[in-house]
A and B are shown apart, each in its own frame.
Chain A
Amino acid sequence: MYFGLNEDQTMLQDSVRRYLEDASELEAVRGFAEGDMSLANNLQDGLLELGVPFVLLPEALNGQILGGLGMGVLEAALIQEQLGRHVAPSGFAATYGMAVIGLREAGDEDWLSQIASGAAVMGVGMTEATGGREGAGLTPKGDKVSGRATFVMGAENATHFLLTTGEQLVVVKRGAAGVSETALTMIDKTRHTVTLDLDNAAAHLVAGNNHAEAQSRMIDAGRVLLAADSLGAAAMMLEKAVDYAKDREQFNRPIASFQAVKHMCAEMAAKLEPCRSLVWYAAYAQDNVPDEAPLMSRLAKSHMSEVGKFVARTSTEVHGGMGFTDLLGLHYWFKRIGANRQLLGGPQAVREEAAKLQGFVA
């Protein structure tokens, strides 16, 4: 029995961390937030060089060689944690996490091969399956699809979108006839989401017939990845708070020596550290403990959302007035955590699903 990361996993995480420390510096993130796409494009290329897009991709599927690494959600979560830590504008969770899992589970080697070659980069719209808001939802008709998909993730570099009609997974091409797109201005400007309005748009039905299961698996994994993103972002906010407190002097001493400040940091650390273990386990369960995977995904997403919110707020407070300014840029982490909380279902909605899974409610 060994509960922890192995050497390969640690190395993978370290290499992504080292890359992002340089590549996703705050100034570059700021540029992206102000509309300059160069960081997202650089990351798309840089992460490709590290092999990151191939992590979940199978080596081969249905006889077709895909050349993926065939790793699990745990490895993907370790990468996502680093992306969150560096508030990196990357659609990894959607494009190389959820989309790959959905297509793999459905058994569509053709789209996977397009992803492997880089010909297709997939944004993912699953909101309609996790809580469709009024006016949202897609209706298929033959090989066309109409309706609205809201909060489509991974729009940064997407060439295609993987969407749900409720029962089926379909792919539409970005910018194709009948696909109109509205960029959403989120509080979190480190990632792009869009709303798609489809009017008789050409829909490629994903292969295979177990779409419901494929969709569940991709949502479960997607939630774990969002939790991992918040874990990384919150860990960074805690580190920044501790560093700031050691540096900042008032009353002729570092504010880190005041118990009021120390206790805020201790509370953040004490709540956050167990989340790391929960996220690891929830990620591991996706591939290795199928009975527990759906519940652990929901518990990790909802619990991390609560702890993330606490850390985001408390770290900002430790930074005092500076935390409230744009100068430090701490707000990028605050807002990223805030967006992760709502994406693919807010904590209350996700907990209600967890209650249903356990038969607590009909």
Chain B
Amino acid sequence: MDLNFTQEYVDFRDQVRGFLDTHKDQAPAQGDRSVRSKKRLAWQKILLENGYAARTLPSEYGGYGAEPDALRARIIAEEFARAKMPGGISGQGINMLVPTLLELGTDEQKAKYIRPTLEGEMVWCQGYSEPGAGSDLASLRTAAVVDGDDFVINGQKIWTSTAQFADMMFCLVRTEPDAPKHQGISYILIDMKTPGIEVRPLMTMTGFAEFNEVFFTDVRVPVTSIVGNRGEGWMVANATLTHERGMLGDPDAALSRLRQVADIMQNEQVDGATLMDNQVFRDRLLQLQGEAYAMKMNGMRLTTAASEKKSAGMAGLLVKLQGCELNHQIAELAIDVMGEYGMLFEDSPFIRDKGMWQTAYMFDLGLIIGGGSAQIQKNIISERGLGMPREPKPAPGTFKAN
């Protein structure tokens, strides 16, 4: 156990701080999430040039070409958070598509897509889930049929975030209808301006449309849009699904949210006593603090494992399940301590923190369900982590709806 950084890393931290200090004025506001913001795109360019975005990706495709180093990555994340300055653009294009193309894309695909994606000029959405294919993703039915030099696509995707802004979609479609379900899927890249694509916003319980439904009617894309071989799309996609799970559940974010709740509890009064004076609330806060620190230390273990290029085993598998649940419970406590004020929403007078806690409470529930539901996570933990057997597959037609 040695929580000190060697001189090399201390120097690197100074370097990051120096960069942040001299570039303060060029950074967009932290809340600036708009996809086409000029300031954000300019910031992304600066980050790419200095190795604070796409740090380990090959320079020939616009990355910085540094050796992977989990400690440097952690230092960068810590210093950007400390300076309250936004890091590079993240999104499904950068986090999921680019690693996939690097591994399995053709030279032409790499040359065409990676650089504009890293620069934020080309925005991607992910077309995986369908109304009938959620946890059982491999049962997807959106069909791509070859006609001359084109695939002709018909079907529907759902839970497609950023589809309304996206230039492109990386999409799973069924190309071999007669093959077993995992072997009949292909991974293709679709230009969102292609005729026959309709994007409809999907309003959720938060009152926002964080997702969309995307409908395909005779959408024609060239057969060269495929990544990997026909029928191998499941394998292609799985490389990126592991990336997605690693993205969620940042323990430092949970601790900082918890501090926000503690602030509310220390500053708001009911009947002349602060909310913190209420022992039940206080105990709930401390319970969550214990859990949040456990997750923080678990995260340190993951960083060490990553820096040694070792699998963290169980410590890694549990992050999505526990991290999302923890955040949900923190929001729940914030709402409970605020009592009646906790139910105010949108632009209500007297609202606290702009209603963010109700939004977080609901959005975190969405995260518990999405990206591999809590139940799917428990299957993964028990099968890959504990070596328990998969549930046997029943013969087709065993279960019939009454």
Binding site for B on A (CB under 8 A): 1-6, 74, 242, 245-246, 253-254, 256-259, 261-263, 265-267, 269-271, 273-275, 277-278, 280-281, 284, 288-289, 296, 299-300, 302-303, 306, 348, 351-352, 354-355, 360-361
Contact = CB atoms under 8 A, between A and B. Distances in A.
Contacts of A259: 375, 378-379, 391
Given A1-B2, A1-B4, A3-B300, A266 B286 contact: no
How many B residues touch the partner, as a band? 35 or more
Contact of B388 (A5, A265, A299, A352): A265
Contact of A271 (B9, B322, B386, B392): B322
Contacts of B307: 1
B248 interface: no
20 contacts: A1-B2, A1-B5, A1-B71, A1-B304, A3-B300, A242-B386, A253-B392, A257-B388, A259-B379, A269-B318, A269-B385, A273-B315, A274-B297, A274-B298, A277-B298, A277-B300, A302-B290, A303-B293, A351-B283, A360-B276
A259 B390 CA distance: 8
B348 interface: no
B179 interface: no
A2 B1 CA distance: 6
A237 to B, nearest CB: 13
Contact of A355 (B286, B375, B383, B386): B286
A277 B289 contact: no
B286 A4 contact: no
A97 to B, nearest CB: 18
Given A265-B382, A271-B322, A256 B4 contact: no
Contacts of B304: 1-4
Contacts of B152: none
Contacts of B322: 270-271, 274
Nearest to A359: B266
Contact of B378 (A2, A266, A277): A266
A24 B230 CA distance: 58
Given A253-B392, A262-B388, A273-B314, A1 B9 contact: yes
A271 B298 CA distance: 11
Interface in B252-296: 262, 265-266, 276-277, 279, 282-283, 285-287, 289-291, 293-295
Contacts of B317: 270
B53 interface: no
A354 B290 CA distance: 10
Contacts of B300: 3, 277, 281
A262 B383 contact: yes
Nearest to B300: A3
Given A242-B386, A352-B279, A267 B297 contact: no
A4 B1 CA distance: 5
Contact of B298 (A246, A273, A296, A361): A273
Given A1-B9, A262-B383, A266-B378, A277 B294 contact: yes
Nearest to A267: B378
B139 interface: no
B392 A257 contact: yes
Nearest to B262: A360
B318 A275 contact: no
B24 interface: no
Contact of A1 (B286, B303, B389): B303
B303 A3 contact: yes
Interface in B371-402: 375, 377-379, 381-383, 385-392
Contacts of A303: 287, 290-291, 293-294
B205 interface: no
Nearest to B288: A303
A307 to B, nearest CB: 8
Contacts of B282: 351-352, 355, 360-361
A299 B297 CA distance: 12
Contacts of A274: 291, 294-295, 297-298, 315, 318, 322
Contacts of A1: 2-5, 9, 71, 303-304, 307
B321 interface: yes
B309 interface: no
B301 interface: yes
A266 B386 contact: yes
Contacts of A270: 317-318, 321-322, 377-378, 381
Interface string B65-80: 0000001000000000
Contacts of A2: 1-2, 304
Contact of A275 (B2, B286, B294, B377): B294
A-B pairs, 4 with minimum CB distance: A303-B290, A277-B297, A266-B378, A262-B382
A266 B385 contact: yes
B283 A348 contact: yes
Nearest to A4: B304
Nearest to B279: A352
Contact of B286 (A74, A263, A265, A351): A351
A348 B290 CA distance: 12
Contacts of A262: 378-379, 382-383, 386, 388, 391
A355 B258 CA distance: 13
Contact of B297 (A263, A278, A306, A360): A278
A284 to B, nearest CB: 5
A269 B315 CA distance: 9
Contacts of B294: 274-275, 277-278, 299, 303
Given A4-B1, A246-B388, A263 B378 contact: yes
Nearest to B265: A360
A275 B382 CA distance: 18
A3 B1 CA distance: 5
A297 B4 CA distance: 21
A299 B283 CA distance: 12
Interface string B1-34: 1111100010000000000000000000000000
Given A266-B321, A275-B294, 17 more contacts: A266-B378, A270-B381, A273-B318, A274-B291, A274-B318, A274-B322, A277-B300, A284-B1, A288-B3, A299-B286, A299-B293, A302-B286, A303-B291, A355-B285, A360-B265, A360-B266, A360-B285
Nearest to A296: B293
Contacts of A273: 298, 314-315, 318
Nearest to A9: B1
